Each structure stands twice: as structure tokens, then as C-alpha cells.
Structure 1
């Protein structure tokens, strides 16, 4: 696949396609703050660092800390990958049993554009996916922001939720990560060829986006249908349904539960009307689906919709500041893509 498709948007039916706009003109226009739901215990073998980075990836920061502290990459833990062109805050852990970090750690990191905000000990390594939310502050500008319907678009997202698409950064420039994933799965996935599982994740993300787009087009992305597997808002707890009743419809309208889509792999899927979308997905993309099953990765679920927590809009001269929090694993670019048209969203 040479180019990613144009996936459906939720606001087009009511407002039409978004107008051109700008975001992330500079890193300070895209602020991300990772939120844990627990406090490190102030003792233990692992030094936890709350860091602020600018204009670099999480992996680049990890490599710098590995070099400065004289530890292997495996000795460093982090919960999530954060954007490069941004100012982001997140926690990392460094395994330093019986010793302290180098005295010059903060000075050396500061020279690399990394600020140490907090230092605390904890008994355990920071593992992937343990943070609860990411808080965002984004600056948008351009024709879309000046349009008469911009505030109404924003309000609609706050009220109905946002399609929980994987963002374009998951697929790499011009979709090259997806091309690599297709090639790897075609010849047979092997751990040694994909140590971090990024190619598996890329393929599953693409299939999820395809299913979400189909349900958006049919108007079923934000309401339960027969055979759905629903997820409780703010959790990873899921439950299957055979039929849809008024209670479930009401809970979905209140954003208390969300329909889910499949992260493809081995295992049982949805049934009934919801299962038909997965059957169609397998027909449309047999090579990807079969390659993922042969890799033995297990099926999982992801909510088709995300709720904006603590949303705020503030005008700033000819731009607007949007602040909100999203569940871990959700992409702010999915929000931006509903509000402005930008080459990165194409």
C-alpha cells in the first residue's frame, strides 16, 4: 500500500470537511504531560525521573540517559512514547541498585534539551502503558480557527466524543511503517526482525482504523449494535452484548460505554452485526490478518470512541489554545484532524 486512505470523520455530515489550519508550527505549540495515577514510593533500586524534553523522541532521550548513567537500554523503563515535535513531560526509570546517578546528570541532560523536573526512588521498573492519561495543550491557527463553525465543531467533539483513530505518526512518513509491516508479515513475522513489536502494532492499528472508518460511515461508531463488545469509559473493562436495549443506548449517549474494535490477532472476535465488520475486514485485508494470526499475537480490543476530559478553549490573538486529557494510547492528532485540514492528516 503506497498511501494511507482518507478515513471517515465524525463531523463531516454536520459541518462538512474542516478548513485548512496549522498546528505544531513550533514544539511549544504541542504540549503533552503524562499523568500517573500513583506516587512513587521514595525508596528502591530504580531511580524515577520526571523529564521534560523538546524536539526529540522518547527513544532518543532513553539512549542519552543510558549513555550518561552507564546502563543498558533494558535498564530503563518508560510508560509511553511521546511526540518528537513537541514539549513533553513523562516519567522514566533507571535501574541503579546500590548507587546514585552521576552528579552531572542534570547538567548533561539540560545541554541536550532535557530538563529533570523530579527525582524519586521506587522499588520497580516503570513498565509500558501504566500511565492513566495524557494532558494536552495545543495551539491551532489558520482559516479553520477563524471559521464561524469552529467553536461548534469543538463543542460537538466535547459532547459526542472523538473517533479513537491511531494517529498518522503510527504509520510513519508516507505510510512507510505500514509498508514495512506488510513486507514483514508476508515473509513471516519473527521477533528478531521486530524487537519492539512496532510492525505488529502498525498492522493492527491500520486494521483498527479501517474498521472504525467503516462504522463511522455507517453511523454506528458511537452507539452499540448487536454482538458488540463494549468498553467502560476510563477503563479497559469490556463486556459483550447480544442485543441492544434502551439502557445501553442511554449509557452510550452519556459516554459511559463505548463500542470497541478489534486489534487483530488470534482469538475470538465480536458476534452478530458487530462481527460482520470484522469478517469484512478479513476479506478486505487477508494478507495482514493472516500474517498477524501466524505471528500468534492475541486479539485485543480498543474503544472506537474517546472522551475529552477537562476540555477547555482559550482564544489567543489569531490562534486558539485547546486543553484536554485523553486515555493512554489515544492520539491528539485524531482530535486535530476533526477540526482542521492539514497535510499531516491527509
Structure 2
């Protein structure tokens, strides 16, 4: 059960539109971690030499934070010594490469021991893995609570996505289990430390699970020690901040205790919420797979952008390239240095920013610290396949596909199921 509370109205940051018009098959995902398989596709293979140890990791039902914490303790290194290309779902079986800065003169520890984390291989390389250092991800997902014969009903929508591409929404994972990471980002940007603490720890912020009511009420009453005793390491940010309050810290120092990674993620979630609203508008205008004068076109082969002028719109080669999904319209990740669109496109992007309560000047404030960027409004989906069957856990429909780095499988599932996945 979720406790709903009276809060200032914030529009949902989640996708609000569909690209495909076909009926969905319904169903449920992530019933078991084994139903949601993710294989990271690396950009390159490690060379075999260097000061960074690359680990091929398979984790089952383990959060990204738990995995990193376990590796940090095992290798006795600071968190900054660990590199990864992306954060993978907890409710899944995921395979990815993680790097550990571990100089050659240090003796290697024994095998990593964790019942749900397996090291499949190790090899050295010269550099740390950075966010985005992946070619993409392969997904194989079983949808439960659905008749297997409904698999054929999925084909028209999947075929449409293969032809046109998928809306490149940020999925629900971006916004957290309370769907409020963007709100925390907004409060951080405004340096509203009191509001931020209430949103994170209090009982008058965004809706939260019923089991958290007592600990949140204790925070409201100023009983920080008692509240801290009820949070667990699984709630890392909440536990860190409530411990800071219990130790006598308040305001900015208490909230910043979560560390730069969490603060940056909250800010980037705010950027993501604005991007999703721009994408909603693009789907409303039926302009996902066509250009509008003033657009910035995204080149899928290298991530560069170029301006779409009236002359460009009349160029048949541009039409061919967008139909082949070689180029796509792009949307804003507002921040310093972001390349701006023009005309009505720029006006729509600015309206989405202002609708969430921000101005362009707000994004220059120090807590943001994030550069602006462009992001394609659609991305291609490749190698899709479906089948159906039953196992010891019941019937299912399976769908598999490849997506480029940064795209969300749940956006594909949302189009096929016609429900938020």
C-alpha cells in the first residue's frame, strides 16, 4: 500500500503518450529477477594489461549500490576507483563489465563471494570504464499474467517500433520508487534544504510505502535518532541523511552527505523530466519521425547534431536518412553549454523547462554542475523476437530486442503492454 499525502502539485515525469495505436497485451513484468535478463554490449574488449581490473559481473536481484559497495569492500578501494558504463536494474539478472583501479604491485584478493553476484571473468586494461562506455544492451524479458496466445497481438506494435524507432523516454527507473528524484533535483537546485529534507525523509512529501509512515513521522517530530534506527542500508540516501541529522547536522551539510553521485543524479532526473515533457509534445504533434524547421538533428552514428533549416527540409537525402533512422530529432537536456534549437522548437523546449518551475538562469547555479546536452527523441530497436510458453512458474510471453546505450527497455514494454511497465 502507498500512502498519499497532500503535496504541492507536480506533474508526473513519466511518459504520458504512446507511439503505437495497437491494443496492448497487458501482463506483468519483473515477477522474478530471472524474467528480466540484461546483457551489456561493450564498446571494446580489455587489452590484458594495465592498472585497471575488468570484471565480468552477473548479478541477480541485487541493486547497483549493493554491488558497488560489495566490490569496494572486497577490493579495499574507494568508491571512485570503481568504474561502470551504466546502472542496471535490481529486479533482474544483469551482466555487465565493472572496472577496479588496482595497481599491479598490489596482491589480488581472493574470489568475490556473494550468493547473488558472480564474477564470470577478469582481465586487465589501461583505463577506467566511464558512464556511457557501452554499445548498448540486449534484453530478454518474460511477461507474466498473460495468455501466451496473445503473443500474436504484440507483433503489429513491435513491427511498427522496428520501422519507426522507439520514443526515447526516460523510464520510471530514472525517477525512483517514489517517482520524486526530479523533485529532489528541483529543491536542490533552489537550495531549499528544508524542503528537500521533508521530501526525502518526512511524511508530507511525495507518496511513499505505508511501512515507512512511522519513521517519517518520527522525522517530522524531530526524533532523528529514533527515525534513523528504522531505516536500513537498502535506503542508502535516507539513512545517510537521517544519520547526519541525528549527529546534529542540518540544512545543506546534512543533505550533501549523500555524496556527489546522488546529488548529480537528482539534478539529471530533473533534466530528464523536462525532456519527457518535450517528447510528449512531439508525439502529440505526430512529429517523432519527421523534422520541423528549427530542429537539431541527431546523427546516430556519432552523436553529433546539425541544424535543420528550411533548405534542409526540402532535401530528399534528409528524408531518406530520417526514414532509415540514421538521423532523428533531438530534445534538450537543459544545462550549461547545451546547443539550442531555433524557432517554434526552441519555444516548446523553453516552455517545458518553465512548466516545471525553472528558468535558464536557474541552471547556471552551482549545485547543478551538469553540462547541458542533446538527446535523440527516438532510437532504433534491433533484433526483436517474440515467443510464448510456460514453465514451472506459469505461462508467459517472451520478447527480446537490442537497444542503444541510454535507452530504456520499459519504454518498449509500455508500448507492447499499453501500461506503465
Aligned counterpart in structure 1 of residue 411 of structure 2, from 327, 334, 339? 334
The reply to whether residue 215 of structure 1 matches residue 215 of structure 2 is no
d(CA) in 1 for partners of 2:160 and 2:148? 15
Q: CA deviation at 1:15?
A: 2.3
Q: CA deviation at 1:247?
A: 2.3
Residue 299 of structure 1 is matched in structure 2 by 372
The reply to whether residue 201 of structure 1 matches residue 268 of structure 2 is yes
* Alpha-carbon contact 1:20-1:144 (below 8 Å) kept: no
Residue 309 of structure 1 is matched in structure 2 by 382
* Alpha-carbon contact 1:144-1:339 (below 8 Å) kept: no
Residue 109 of structure 2 is matched in structure 1 by 102
Structure-2 change in CA distance of 1:71 and 1:266 (3 Å)? closer
d(CA) in 2 for partners of 1:311 and 1:321? 11
* Alpha-carbon contact 1:188-1:291 (below 8 Å) kept: no
d(CA) in 2 for partners of 1:120 and 1:308? 31
1:54-73 equivalences in 2 (<5 Å): 54-73=60-79
Q: CA deviation at 1:241?
A: 1.6
d(CA) in 2 for partners of 1:253 and 1:279? 28
Residue 6 of structure 2 is matched in structure 1 by none
* Alpha-carbon contact 1:141-1:320 (below 8 Å) kept: yes
Radius of gyration: which is bigger?
2
Q: CA deviation at 1:145?
A: 6.3
d(CA) in 2 for partners of 1:20 and 1:312? 18
Structure-2 change in CA distance of 1:235 and 1:57 (3 Å)? farther
After superposing on structure 2, the runs of 4+ consecutive aligned residues of structure 1 that deviate more than 4 Å are 143-148, 188-194
Runs of 5+ unmatched residues, structure 2: 1-8, 194-251
d(CA) in 2 for partners of 1:315 and 1:33? 21
Residue 141 of structure 2 is matched in structure 1 by 138
d(CA) in 2 for partners of 1:151 and 1:316? 16
Residue 187 of structure 2 is matched in structure 1 by 183
The reply to whether residue 8 of structure 1 matches residue 78 of structure 2 is no
Aligned counterpart in structure 1 of residue 400 of structure 2, from 323, 330, 334? 323
Q: CA deviation at 1:64?
A: 0.2
d(CA) in 1 for partners of 2:185 and 2:148? 36
d(CA) in 1 for partners of 2:141 and 2:302? 25
* Alpha-carbon contact 2:182-2:267 (below 8 Å) kept: no
Structure-2 change in CA distance of 1:219 and 1:341 (3 Å)? closer
* Alpha-carbon contact 2:25-2:154 (below 8 Å) kept: no
d(CA) in 2 for partners of 1:230 and 1:222? 11
d(CA) in 2 for partners of 1:221 and 1:188? 36
The reply to whether residue 250 of structure 1 matches residue 320 of structure 2 is yes
Range moving further from structure 2, 35-44 or 146-155: 146-155
Residue 114 of structure 1 is matched in structure 2 by 117
Residue 245 of structure 2 is matched in structure 1 by none
Residue 221 of structure 2 is matched in structure 1 by none
Q: CA deviation at 1:80?
A: 0.7
d(CA) in 2 for partners of 1:203 and 1:120? 37
Cα deviation code 1:144-188 (max 9, x no counterpart): 865463211111111111100000111112312122112212227
| TM-score of the pair, normalised by structure 2 | 0.75
Residue 51 of structure 2 is matched in structure 1 by 45
Q: CA deviation at 1:3?
A: 5.8
Q: CA deviation at 1:303?
A: 0.5
Cα deviation code 1:192-229 (max 9, x no counterpart): 46601111110000000000011001101221111111
Q: CA deviation at 1:20?
A: 2.6
Structure-2 change in CA distance of 1:252 and 1:95 (3 Å)? same
Secondary structure at the counterpart of residue 306 of structure 2: strand
Q: CA deviation at 1:290?
A: 4.4
* Alpha-carbon contact 2:15-2:280 (below 8 Å) kept: no
Aligned counterpart in structure 2 of residue 127 of structure 1, from 127, 130, 140? 130
Aligned residues: 337
* Alpha-carbon contact 2:146-2:397 (below 8 Å) kept: no
CA RMSD of aligned residues (A): 2.2
d(CA) in 2 for partners of 1:2 and 1:286? 10
The reply to whether residue 162 of structure 1 matches residue 162 of structure 2 is no
Residue 231 of structure 1 is matched in structure 2 by 298
The reply to whether residue 279 of structure 1 matches residue 288 of structure 2 is no
Runs of 5+ unmatched residues, structure 1: none
Cα deviation code 1:283-335 (max 9, x no counterpart): 42342754323235332000000111222222224422211111111110111
